[in-house]
Amino acid sequence: MNCYLCGMEAKESGEGQGEQLVDCSDCGTYRISSLVLKELETKKFEFSKMRDDLHRQRQFNATSVAEINTETAIWS
Ligand SMILES: [Zn+2]
């Protein structure tokens, strides 16, 4: 698969209920909700802000996986 953020080759490291876990060597590991995946069909991420936010989430809580859901998604 390709990373939803940078479009580079990434690993899908699991699928949970209503979400996908993506492991990108560039963007790191993040969870993306199926609702956001659906919105991605018609919208695009504000890539750099989204990456900053994932970074911020990791700093805020190092034990949990950074999350892209309808609340954290930043659209361009
Ligand atoms: Zn990536």
Q: Could you read off the pLDDT tens digit of each residue along the chain, which spans 76 residues?
A: 999 999 999 999 888 789 999 999 999 999 999 999 999 999 999 999 999 999 999 999 988 899 999 999 999 9
**Taking ligand 1, which is a single-atom ion, which protein residues have CB atoms under 5 Å away?**
3, 5-6, 24, 26-27
Centre of ligand 1 to C-alpha 29, Å, is 9
In contact, 68 and 36? CB cutoff 8 Å: yes
Using the mean position of ligand 1's atoms as its centre, give its distance from the Cα of residue 26 in Å. 5
Ligand 1 centroid to Cα of residue 10, in Å, is 7
Give alpha helix (H) positions in the chain. Answer: 34-39, 47-60
CB 22 within 8 A of CB 9: no
Whole-structure pTM value: 0.91
